Amino acid sequence: MKTKTKNFLIVSQLCKKPFYNASDYHNHNYNHNNNIKEIKMNTKEELKQHCRAIANFLEQEDHGKNDDGDDFTVWDYLQDVYTINYIINSSRNYLGARILVAGGGPNIWANTENNCIEGYWGGDEVKVYYIDNLGLDDALEDKAIELFNLKR
């Protein structure tokens, strides 16, 4: 029963159809196993597209203008993130940061330690590597040194 409930929740959430309980789900004429696999493949591909779009943005040479008409900076990007986790070793050296750039559906992190966009959605995981042309890592290293009095 627990597995069916879990599958029901995955299908209802990912299909964005208003299944309110398990009987609503089972009243639809689905081949349950095939649709769950199909949905799983579609969500993994969608997750990969989200991650690739974030990586593409970070790789752009010109990020355009911000809302004030000034050149878009790394700080404009960082003002809209959910959280920043700094990665610091025991010698008090900055190694990188994990930035939660999307959450609630898929959770997507930009990891500056290895220049990788890491996406998680349900049981799916996607990694897309990027070149940091926005300067996330440099900006966050400077900020971490300031905040935590780290070694350069």
Do 100 and 139 fall into the same domain? yes
Other beta carbons within 10 Å of 144: 21
Do 21 and 55 fall into the same domain? no
Q: Establish if 35 belongs to a structural domain.
A: no
Percent of the chain surpassing pLDDT 90: 66
Question: How far is Cα 112 from Cα 44, in angstroms, rounded to an integer?
Answer: 23
Average pLDDT over residues 61-78: 94
Do 20 and 81 fall into the same domain? no
Q: Are strands 94-102 and 83-88 parallel, antiparallel or unpaired?
A: antiparallel
Q: Establish if 36 belongs to a structural domain.
A: no
Tell me: pLDDT of 22 over 50. Answer: no
Q: How far is CA 97 from CA 67, 114, 139, in A?
A: 26, 9, 10
Is the model more confident about 42 or about 61? Answer: 61
Query: What does the pLDDT read at residue 31?
Result: 47
Task: pLDDT band for 152, please (50, 70, 90 cuts).
Answer: confident
Query: What does the pLDDT read at residue 19?
Result: 33
Do 113 and 72 fall into the same domain? yes
Do 17 and 53 fall into the same domain? no
Q: Establish if 88 belongs to a structural domain.
A: yes
Task: pLDDT band for 43, please (50, 70, 90 cuts).
Answer: confident
Do 74 and 101 fall into the same domain? yes
Range of the domain at 60: 41-148
**What is the count of structural domains for the chain?**
2
Do 21 and 81 fall into the same domain? no
Angle between helices 2-15 and 32-59 (to 10 degrees): 50
Tell me: pLDDT of 8 over 70. Answer: no
Do 22 and 77 fall into the same domain? no
Do 3 and 66 fall into the same domain? no
Q: Establish if 62 belongs to a structural domain.
A: yes
Q: Establish if 50 belongs to a structural domain.
A: yes
Residues, the chain, total? 152
Query: What does the pLDDT read at residue 58?
Result: 97
Query: What does the pLDDT read at residue 14?
Result: 35
Task: pLDDT band for 39, please (50, 70, 90 cuts).
Answer: low
pLDDT digits (tens, 9 = 90+) for 70-119: 999 999 999 999 999 999 999 999 999 999 999 988 999 999 999 999 99
Other beta carbons within 10 Å of 3: 7
Question: How far is Cα 72 from Cα 136, in angstroms, rounded to an integer?
Answer: 13
Do 78 and 136 fall into the same domain? yes
Do 4 and 75 fall into the same domain? no
Do 1 and 63 fall into the same domain? no
Query: DSSP code of 72?
Result: P
Q: Establish if 104 belongs to a structural domain.
A: yes
Handedness of CA 47, 121, 31, 23 (dihedral sign): negative
Tell me: pLDDT of 30 over 70. Answer: no
